[in-house]
């Protein structure tokens, strides 16, 4: 199988990799190695682990400097909205990362939330690769260029508000009931769990949500519940 032109991606993000294998590894999903055992490189999960930490530090540092009068709780909410799966997978799509993913044939067919999660993880892996190859400053410049433009919309539309808290406020206001969440299913191997959670007002199911943790699935269910009930922000 012919590999994508990773040099093209490096040009796209205006980066020059000394160790080009790091960039290739950043796009290598675990499933690809199952079908290509002689590939010679590892999968991207360690790079994702590193990139996640760098991402959080860069965004925390930026918010601390940019919003000197905001309290810790609000800054935490801003950060959560900016580095969640939706925001960073959007940034990955804007960089056409989809075109460079190394996936198994089965994973390559996935769309929707599964692909969104893969793209978000790959975005973090690329951050990890940049950090190892070129240092903190280069990783910081990449992160700020891709994510900070999204912050204005997040603040303006109040997307930083925690969906679960907001849904609870609205449910108590309109129904006089505190909503509840129930785990409906749990699938996948340990390293790639997928949880489905139901959001209920009383005995009525309002929405379902999915995520790689119960907390993520509950947030997704709350977001979908806000849409279903017409409680926009």
Place of tokens 């070129």: 134
Q: Please list, residue by residue across 74-99, b when 16 or more beta carbons sit within 10 angstroms of its beta carbon and e when fewer do.
A: ebebbbebbbbbebbbbbbeebebee
Percentage of the chain with pLDDT > 90?
A: 59
Residue 121 annotated as binding site: yes
- Residue 9 buriedness (CB in 10 A; 0-12 / 13-18 / 19+): buried
Calculate the average pLDDT of the chain: 89
Query: What is the tens place of the pLDDT at every residue in 40-76?
Result: 999 999 999 999 999 999 999 999 999 999 998 888 8
Residue 48 annotated as binding site: yes
pLDDT of residue 233: 57
Residue 223 annotated as binding site: no
CATH class (in words) of the domain with range 6-156? mainly alpha
Topology (CATH level 3) of domain 163-229:
Double Stranded RNA Binding Domain (3.30.160)
Q: Where are the domains of the chain?
A: 6-156, 163-229
pTM, entire model: 0.72
pLDDT of residue 183: 96
* Residue positions annotated with a catalytic role: 52, 124
Taking residues 189-214, what's their average pLDDT?
Answer: 89
Taking residues 148-177, what's their average pLDDT?
Answer: 80
């Amino acid at each position: 199988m012919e590999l994508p032109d990773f040099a093209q991606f490096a040009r796209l993000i205006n980066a020059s990799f000394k160790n080009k294998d790091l960039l290739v590894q950043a796009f290598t999903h675990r499933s690809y190695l199952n079908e290509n055992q002689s590939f010679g490189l590892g999968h991207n999960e360690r790079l994702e682990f590193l990139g996640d930490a760098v991402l959080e530090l860069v965004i925390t540092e930026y918010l601390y400097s940019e919003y000197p009068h905001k309290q810790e709780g609000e800054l935490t909410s801003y950060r959560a909205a900016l580095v969640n799966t939706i925001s960073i997978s959007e940034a990955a799509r804007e960089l056409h990362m989809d075109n460079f993913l190394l996936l198994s044939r089965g994973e390559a067919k996935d769309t929707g939330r599964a692909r969104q999660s893969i793209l978000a993880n790959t975005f973090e892996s690329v951050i990890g690769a940049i950090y190892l190859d070129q240092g903190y400053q280069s990783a910081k410049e990449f992160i700020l260029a891709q994510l900070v433009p999204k912050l204005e919309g997040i603040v303006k539309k109040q997307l930083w508000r925690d969906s679960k808290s907001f849904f609870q406020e609205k449910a108590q206001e309109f129904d006089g009931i505190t909503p509840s969440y129930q785990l409906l299913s749990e699938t996948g191997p340990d390293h790639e769990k997928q949880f489905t959670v139901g959001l209920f007002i009383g005995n009525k199911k309002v929405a379902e949500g999915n995520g790689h943790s119960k907390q993520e699935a509950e947030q997704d269910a709350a977001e979908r519940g806000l849409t279903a009930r017409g409680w926009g922000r």
